[in-house]
Chain A
Amino acid sequence: MGETIVKIIVTLSLAAAIFVLLPASPIQGLVSNINIPFVHELNWFLPITLIKNATLTWLAAISSYYAISWIMRQLSLIGN
């Protein structure tokens, strides 16, 4: 029992250490410095905000689908 706890602690510590070493997001730094020309005019033609929100929500739904179906396959609730 004690050995198991030590293993868990060591594992978590190792994971935390590795996590600290992970690099920062390369994309978000770039995004903050990008100005797209004519973006206002683009939004005049297309409902970008709505499309973005719908897309993200749809992606969440699809991801959830695959996640849940994977879990259910593991539990043999559904077939392949």
Chain B
Amino acid sequence: MVNIKRITIVLLSLFFAFSPILENVDFSYADNTEWSTITSEAQLSAAMKAYAMAEYNISTKFAQVGINDPITNAIIGWSYTQFKKAADNANINLNALQGSIKYKVANDGLLQFAYSGSYIQDYNSLIEQYLIQNGLSPNDIQFDQQIYSGKLITDDDGNSCYVYEISSDATLTSSSQYKKQSINYISKWGSPLKYDSAHIYNLVSNINDSTSVSFNFDDVTYTTNSSNDWATVKLIQYTGSETFPVITSNDSYWAYMSKPLNKEPFINTNPHYSVFHYGNYYTLGIIWFNVFWKNSEPNTFSAKLDYVDRGAFTDYVNNHGVNASINIAKSGLKNGLLQQGKNAAIAVGKYGAQNAADAIKNYIDDNEPETPAVDNDVDDGEDPEYPDTPQPPINIGFPIGGAAIGNGNNFSFNFEMPDLSQLPTSPQSLPNNFSLPVLKTKFPFCLIYDIPAVLSLFEAQPQAPRFQGTIDLGVFNYNLDINLNYFDSVMVYCRAMIFILYVFCLIFITKELLF
């Protein structure tokens, strides 16, 4: 007779074995390890870049409207300590992370002007000040988080932030002599937002060269290889009917990729959202980024940084930052982006050319000991210490190829935008800290964790065996090449059957063991 109590025990055991509680203890060993590594790296990288960019771009602009709260106090939720902590947790060399490659300069330049960043500090008060001073209501700022598809990430301290997915790349190449000089580079850019259209304005009236433009959107690649064929890729040739005040030169390309907010049509006529312009006489960059408030709706800022090189190629320092502006994106506002400070007379900080990665590295190195973690929740009456704004400001987000700048102003940009598309789609899959990490490494408590580690040795991507060799037949050699990948489709079912058989074996073993 079957023992009811024993059956109850077995059922209870199975329940616990398959329950999320035990799963979090570490039975999903490999998955959790992989997840945390990818997430930490992406999160760290994205947040770090946004940190530097915000430091660089916004602090001076906010000062112009009377907000003197240092950017490090006001906006940044991730102090260096938190970056470092995240890096350490993920076994990431923080310095090595900066300057790695995806957007590396190829020969004479690479442009990458969009960053994704996440902040976990609530700085509503700062935004409110800004808006009120400009006669606006803070209540106007509302965002539909779904549109942005931000990924909710929670760090070890329970702080939440959102990270965008990087989903778009674009390349622009050209074969004409002029453009070999001016845009014979690869410009790639990724955006935390998903574009709905892309525009390349060719300011040259007669285009005889073959220009190739390709944009990789979420799942569709648009490509054209013929001149004046912009429509193929939703690209529009500049006809002169549209007015862009800063562009008056011929022989220039001006491109921007647009992403609507709430799918409002304004973006197609708003060049201030995400722009790249490259040419002999004017070089304009607008960088933008996204800010997410802790426990609040995300918001978006775009910082416009103009670089007007008036043909001399040497006056970069003095001409940088003209027409700077900060745009606060407001959903539900039919006018689209709320542009504040547009065409401001006061330039954003002027600075010299500087390697962005080195600037960040120096900044972090200089500030590492003094930078505490930001305490968002406890108001103890004392302001935490923050690093001072570096001088000169960090040159990030506005890299220009050396050939165009010329005359000793060569500088490169070698920042990497992490592939945030690898982020897990479900925040619920966050591994919690239920297990005690130290138990995993201390003998004899580690033995339970050694079992999956050893078994993982045998895990690999299935690959069909291939036998290659040469048979010497005396008269000639026969090359033998037997590749079993012909049976790949069959082996899928074979493996499934083997697994089912294995499960049945376990069932019988369980029966022998327990009953």
Interface residues of A (CB under 8 A from B): 19, 22-28, 31, 34, 36, 38-52, 54-65, 68-69, 72, 77-78
Contact = CB atoms under 8 A, between A and B. Distances in A.
Given A43-B458, A56-B452, A65-B10, 9 more contacts: A19-B442, A25-B442, A28-B441, A42-B460, A43-B460, A57-B27, A61-B16, A62-B514, A64-B14
A60 B16 contact: yes
A44 B463 contact: yes
If over half of B's interface residues share one DSSP class (helix, strand or loop), that class is named, otherwise mixed; here it is helix
B463 A62 contact: no
Contacts of A68: 9, 12-13
Contact of A47 (B446, B449, B496, B514): B496
Interface string B288-313: 00000000000000000000000000
Q: Which 9 A-B pairs have the closest CB atoms?
A: A40-B463, A25-B446, A64-B13, A61-B17, A60-B17, A65-B13, A47-B495, A27-B450, A44-B462
Nearest to B26: A56
B502 interface: yes
B499 A60 contact: no
B486 to A, nearest CB: 12
Contact of A51 (B438, B502, B513, B514): B502
B510 interface: yes
Given A24-B442, A39-B460, A43-B459, A60 B22 contact: yes
A52 B27 contact: no
A28 B9 contact: no
A43 B465 CA distance: 10
A5 to B, nearest CB: 24
A77 B12 CA distance: 15
B499 A57 contact: no
A80 to B, nearest CB: 12
B232 interface: no
A68 B463 CA distance: 42
Interface in B464-495: 464-465, 484, 491, 494-495
Contact of B13 (A45, A52, A62, A77): A62
A74 B455 CA distance: 34
A72 B510 CA distance: 20
Contacts of A46: 495, 498
Contact of B9 (A40, A47, A72): A72
B461 to A, nearest CB: 6
A71 to B, nearest CB: 10
B96 interface: no
The contact size tier of chain B is 35 or more
22 contacts: A22-B443, A22-B445, A25-B441, A27-B446, A28-B441, A39-B459, A45-B494, A46-B495, A48-B455, A50-B502, A52-B452, A54-B506, A58-B510, A61-B18, A61-B510, A62-B13, A62-B514, A64-B17, A68-B9, A68-B12, A68-B13, A78-B5
Given A40-B461, A45-B491, A27 B13 contact: no
B457 interface: yes
Contacts of A47: 495-496, 498-499
Contact of A52 (B6, B459, B464, B491): B459
Nearest to A32: B453
B463 A50 contact: no
B440 interface: yes
B454 interface: yes
B451 interface: yes
B453 A31 contact: yes
B456 interface: yes
- Looking at B6, B14, B459, B464, which has the most chain A CB atoms within 10 Å of its CB? B459
Which of B12, B440, B513 lies at the interface centre, i.e. has the most chain A CB atoms within 10 A of its CB?
B12
B29 to A, nearest CB: 8
Nearest to B466: A41
B503 interface: yes
A43 B206 CA distance: 59
Nearest to A60: B17
Nearest to A58: B506
A26 B502 CA distance: 30
B12 A40 contact: no
Interface string B1-33: 000011001101110111000100001010000
B499 to A, nearest CB: 5
Contacts of A72: 5, 9
A50 B443 contact: no
Contact of B510 (A40, A48, A62): A62
A78 to B, nearest CB: 5
